[in-house]
Structure 1
């Protein structure tokens, strides 16, 4: 079988920040499809181990701060030892501490360079580490998939998440430039961008009125769930998307179009 047609059920998938919120939905979506999943976590060990307990033969919890290259290398080493297989899919979902509460976020006149540095280190440096360290695995497997998690806010900014939005916009740039470089290795690099999700730990501080307003502004009349969002990430990892790379797909119920 052509490596590009390898089904999701035969993949070894790394989900960064894969224990809680959207990350948990991503991990569980790949596990549902039969994949083996490395559930990366930073501090949420109990949540990660709970996922493993449900899928003891196909899930492995590994602690690592994706901003630290040595820790990411140790994560790959642990995955290789446990599964005896190369990582073939990387989902960059890890998010440095952030609360989606617009009223509490610093405004343009207050935000500091430190806020931007913190978000860039997680979104961009973290993805750089995981992708670069996955390349030898992709080469061994003959193909690879990278799915970066973005946001619709850099196309339609509606709340003052300046640092978060800028970091995700930079991650989109990395998505497109890396897709060009890695394409000859049969590696696709894409982004899935959502709006506010109902509900994750990060969006728990969002008032109900905001959720209702967003739902009313979508053609589908609802706020996207983490499970709905995760299904699209599975698509980008599957053979169905083998001719798609360097793209950013908005998964927000049609709130932002284009």
Structure 2
């Protein structure tokens, strides 16, 4: 049976592990061919996509490098054709407050979390226009509304990404392109488990209406919906998928 995204090509940045890997897998299940940009190898993601029978392409790419992104976009077109869906998921998290974060660290956080979505969106804009029903989905964070003070650069960057999502939606609607964000809570990934204490996970759960830790599939399902025709009349929105932690 055909999925909601059959015949489309989706680009996922930061798709080698964690949330990005699950998004790539879910979009493939829905019928999309998948291209992944990541600084790490995406072999595991390739295998997951192969199980769905969809085509896959990946490349080692620093999303904050303009030349690298432009080259990646050209290779995706050659391997899979033009892209219909762009998921800006690549991110870095720096757990430091203003007293401890350096300016270089601040800049590097913004380079990946904000410059990356800008560069990638611009590089794939011709594809999205050609699609006629292009989708841009930015993975942001519910921490923007409940900011922990020790994440000053990360929360600030995600706030900027929210603004980018809004203005891009306004500018690209004329081309039939929708632009939305998905704001997740603290998601249980291997990286998060390595860098966050279990007590931090427990504290996050206590703040939520839904009393369990958020998993990558809780994000990928929302992304799949926003990428589909079911969400054709939704744009400029930040969908908060955080178990009710912010109660917006």
Asked if structure 2 preserves the Cα contact closer than 8 Å seen for 1:62 and 1:75, the reply is: yes
Asked if structure 1 preserves the Cα contact closer than 8 Å seen for 2:170 and 2:236, the reply is: yes
Tell me if 1:257 matches 2:247: yes
Asked if structure 2 preserves the Cα contact closer than 8 Å seen for 1:119 and 1:164, the reply is: yes
- Per-residue CA deviation, residues 28-73 of structure 1 (Å, 9 max, x unaligned), is 1111111111022112344444445545642111221111122112
Asked if structure 1 preserves the Cα contact closer than 8 Å seen for 2:36 and 2:57, the reply is: yes
Asked if structure 2 preserves the Cα contact closer than 8 Å seen for 1:13 and 1:35, the reply is: yes
* Aligned positions, number: 246
Unaligned runs of 5+ in 2: none
**Aligned counterpart in structure 2 of residue 168 of structure 1, from 152, 158, 163:** 158
After TM superposition, the structure 1 stretch with the greater mean CA deviation from structure 2, 33-42 or 206-215, is: 206-215
**Aligned counterpart in structure 2 of residue 125 of structure 1, from 89, 100, 115:** 115
**What's the C-alpha RMSD, in Å, of the aligned pairs?**
1.8
Distance 1:73 1:56, change over 3 A: farther
Match of 1:193 in 2: 183
Distance in 1 separating the partners of 2:38 and 2:99: 34
| TM, length-normalised to structure 1 | 0.89
Distance 1:174 1:7, change over 3 A: same
Unaligned runs of 5+ in 1: 1-5, 100-104
After TM superposition, the structure 1 stretch with the greater mean CA deviation from structure 2, 148-157 or 49-58, is: 49-58
Tell me if 1:72 matches 2:69: yes
CA offset at residue 151 of structure 1?
0.5
After TM superposition, the structure 1 stretch with the greater mean CA deviation from structure 2, 194-203 or 220-229, is: 194-203
Tell me if 1:27 matches 2:17: no
After TM superposition, the structure 1 stretch with the greater mean CA deviation from structure 2, 42-51 or 18-27, is: 42-51
Asked if structure 1 preserves the Cα contact closer than 8 Å seen for 2:31 and 2:54, the reply is: no
Match of 2:14 in 1: 17
Distance 1:206 1:14, change over 3 A: same
**Aligned counterpart in structure 2 of residue 82 of structure 1, from 59, 79, 84:** 79
Tell me if 1:58 matches 2:42: no
Distance in 2 separating the partners of 1:131 and 1:91: 9
Distance in 1 separating the partners of 2:169 and 2:50: 35
CA offset at residue 197 of structure 1?
0.5
Match of 1:3 in 2: none
Tell me if 1:226 matches 2:216: yes
Match of 1:248 in 2: 238
Tell me if 1:135 matches 2:131: no
SS at match of 1:15: strand
Asked if structure 2 preserves the Cα contact closer than 8 Å seen for 1:41 and 1:48, the reply is: no
After TM superposition, the structure 1 stretch with the greater mean CA deviation from structure 2, 122-131 or 42-51, is: 42-51
After TM superposition, the structure 1 stretch with the greater mean CA deviation from structure 2, 162-171 or 131-140, is: 131-140
Tell me if 1:112 matches 2:108: no
CA offset at residue 25 of structure 1?
0.8
CA offset at residue 112 of structure 1?
2.1
SS at match of 1:227: helix
Distance in 2 separating the partners of 1:63 and 1:106: 28
